[in-house]
Amino acid sequence: MVDLESKNSIKYKLFRESLPHDHLLNEKETQIVVGNSNIAIFRKKDNIFRQGTRTSHIMIVTSGLVKITKEGRNNRLIILKLALPGEYIGLLSVLGNQIHQYSATAVEETAICFIDINVFKNVILDNGKFGLQLLNIISKEGLYIFDRLMNQTQKQLPGRIADVLLYFINEVYHSQKFSFPLTRRELAQLAGTTKESFIRTLTEFRNDKIIALNGSEVEIISMDIVNTLSEFG
Last residue of a domain, one of 97, 121, 151: 151
**Helix 27-35 vs helix 117-126: crossing angle, to nearest 10:** 170
Q: Which pLDDT does position 50 carry in this prediction? A: 95
Last residue of a domain, one of 151, 178, 201: 151
3-state secondary structure (DSSP) of residue 184: helix
Regarding whether 177 and 85 lie in a shared domain, the answer is no
Regarding whether 172 and 136 lie in a shared domain, the answer is no
Regarding whether 145 and 159 lie in a shared domain, the answer is no
pLDDT one digit per residue (tens) for the chain, 233 residues: 333 335 556 666 666 666 666 678 888 888 888 888 888 999 999 999 999 999 889 999 999 999 999 998 777 899 999 999 999 998 888 777 889 989 999 999 999 999 999 998 899 999 999 989 988 988 888 898 888 888 888 899 999 999 999 999 999 999 999 999 999 999 999 999 999 999 999 999 999 999 999 999 999 999 999 999 999 87
Regarding whether 9 and 102 lie in a shared domain, the answer is yes
Regarding whether 79 and 162 lie in a shared domain, the answer is no
Q: Which pLDDT does position 4 carry in this prediction? A: 34
Last residue of a domain, one of 135, 151, 167: 151
15 forms beta bridges with none
Structural domain of residue 219, as residue ranges? 155-232
DSSP codes of every residue in 36-92: TEEEEEE-TT-EEE-TT-B--EEEEEEES-EEEEEE-GGG-EEEEEEE-TT-EESHH
CATH code (residue 205) = 1.10.10.10
Regarding whether 114 and 61 lie in a shared domain, the answer is yes
